[in-house]
Amino acid sequence: MAVRVQQEDFDIGLELAQLTKGNPSVGGLCSFVGLVRDLNDGNSVATLTLEHYPGMTEKQLERIEAEAHDRWPLEASLIIHRFGTMHPEENIVLVATASAHRGAAFDACHFIMDYLKTEAPFWKVEATDAGERWVSERDSDGEARDRWKD
Amino acid sequence: MAVRVQQEDFDIGLELAQLTKGNPSVGGLCSFVGLVRDLNDGNSVATLTLEHYPGMTEKQLERIEAEAHDRWPLEASLIIHRFGTMHPEENIVLVATASAHRGAAFDACHFIMDYLKTEAPFWKVEATDAGERWVSERDSDGEARDRWKD
Amino acid sequence: MKILYFAWLRQKIGIGEEQIDVPGDVTTPQALVEYLRNRGENYALAFTDVSAIKVAVNQEFADYETLLKPGDEVAFFPPVTGG
Amino acid sequence: MKILYFAWLRQKIGIGEEQIDVPGDVTTPQALVEYLRNRGENYALAFTDVSAIKVAVNQEFADYETLLKPGDEVAFFPPVTGG
Decide: pTM greater than 0.90.
yes
C34, amino acid identity: E
C-alpha A54/C-alpha A122 separation (Å) is: 10
**Cross-strand pairs, A49:** A85, A125
What's the pLDDT at B4?
Answer: 98
ipTM: 0.96
C-alpha A67/C-alpha B119 separation (Å) is: 34
Give C-chain residues touching A117 at CB under 8 angstroms.
80, 82-83
Do A121 and C77 make contact, defined as CB atoms within 8 angstroms? yes
| Nearest Cα residue to B105 out of B114, B113, B97 | B97
Q: How confident is the model at residue C65 (pLDDT cuts 50, 70, 90)?
A: very high
C in contact with D (at least 3 C-beta pairs within 8 A): no
What's the pLDDT at C35?
Answer: 98
Residue among A53, A116, A134 whose CB faces C8 most closely: A134
D56, amino acid identity: A
What's the pLDDT at B150?
Answer: 76
The mean of the pLDDT values for chain B is 97
What's the pLDDT at C47?
Answer: 98
Touching chains, C (3+ CB pairs < 8 A): A
C-alpha A32/C-alpha A29 separation (Å) is: 10
Do C78 and A135 make contact, defined as CB atoms within 8 angstroms? no
- Angstrom CA distances, A114 to A86, A145, D80, stand at 22, 5, 33
Contact assessment for residue B133 and residue B125, using Cβ atoms and an 8 Å cutoff: yes
Give D-chain residues touching B51 at CB under 8 angstroms.
6-7, 10
DSSP state of A101: S
Residue C50: pLDDT above 90?
yes
Do B56 and D6 make contact, defined as CB atoms within 8 angstroms? no
- Angstrom CA distances, A132 to A17, A47, A129, B27, C10, stand at 38, 10, 8, 20, 15
A110 close to C (CB below 8 A): no
Report pLDDT digits (tens) over D37-78: 999 999 999 999 999 999 999 999 999 999 999 999 999 999
Report pLDDT digits (tens) over C19-38: 999 999 999 999 999 999 99
- Angstrom CA distances, C67 to A43, C21, C33, C72, D42, stand at 42, 16, 13, 10, 81
| Nearest Cα residue to A32 out of A96, A103, A87, A121 | A96
Report pLDDT digits (tens) over B112-143: 999 999 999 999 999 999 999 999 999 999 99
D49 close to B (CB below 8 A): no
C-alpha A106/C-alpha A17 separation (Å) is: 17
C-alpha A34/C-alpha A49 separation (Å) is: 14
| Nearest Cα residue to B116 out of D54, D62, D83 | D83
Nearest CA in chain B to A141: B103
Please report, in tens digits, the pLDDT of each residue of chain A (150 residues total): 999 999 999 999 999 999 999 999 999 999 999 999 999 999 999 999 999 999 999 999 999 999 999 999 999 999 999 999 999 999 999 999 999 999 999 999 999 999 999 999 999 999 999 999 999 999 999 999 999 997
Q: What is the mean pLDDT of residues C77-81?
A: 98
C-alpha A80/C-alpha A33 separation (Å) is: 10
Do B136 and D81 make contact, defined as CB atoms within 8 angstroms? yes
Helices A102-119 and B102-119: crossing angle, nearest 10°? 180
What's the pLDDT at B99?
Answer: 98
| Nearest Cα residue to D7 out of D58, D80, D73 | D80
Report pLDDT digits (tens) over B29-61: 999 999 999 999 999 999 999 999 999 999 999
| Nearest Cα residue to A147 out of A120, A125, A117, A102 | A117
Touching chains, A (3+ CB pairs < 8 A): B, C
